[in-house]
Amino acid sequence: MIYQKKMEISIMVIDSTFWVAVSFVIFFGALIYLKVPQKVNEILNKLISDIKNEINESEKLRTEAKTLLDKAQKKLDTAQTVSDEILEQAKRDSDKMVIELNDKFHKTSEIKKNLAENKISQMKEAAIKEIKDTSIKIAVDSVKKIITTSVDKSKLDALFQKNLDETKEELKKINS
């Protein structure tokens, strides 16, 4: 009986181990028959290929982005340089304009000063001439009055004519 029990246990052990082994072989056989490892390999290869393509595409995009960034940086540098040049030119132009306006102001002031001095000189000369004319007229009137009251009429006319001629000569000399 002990032998029989051993046998049964052994058959059971063999049976369960056998069936696990058989099912294992059948499972892997089915996998191989259905080409699952090849399909898994193909799927993995396709995923690897897709990942490589995405990496290559992202590398191309990175290169293009770097190129665009470099171009934009060059344009920015150029724009900064041009901006600096424009500001420098504007500064030079404004300095030049300030100098020109200052010169024009001084020239205009000098011209106005000269005009004022000329006008004052002309007014002075006109006033002197008017004073001389008035003085001469008063002197002539005074002489005329003195002569008319103190001298006889015939002598007075001769003296008046002589003084009048002399005064005219003097006036011509002064006006000339």
Q: Give the residue extent of every domain in the chain.
A: 35-175
C-beta separation of 133 from 167 below 8 A: no
pTM of the model as a whole: 0.39
Closest CA to 138 of 167, 161, 158: 167
- Residue 167: per-residue pLDDT: 80
CA distance 16 to 13: 5
CA distance 122 to 129: 10
| pLDDT mean across residues, the chain | 83
- pLDDT tens digit sequence for 3-26: 555 555 555 556 777 878 888 888
C-beta separation of 162 from 151 below 8 A: no
Nearest-5° Cα angle at 145, 143 to 147: 65
Ramachandran bin of 111, using left for φ above 0, alpha for ψ from -120 to 50, beta for the remaining angles: alpha
CA distance 176 to 173: 5
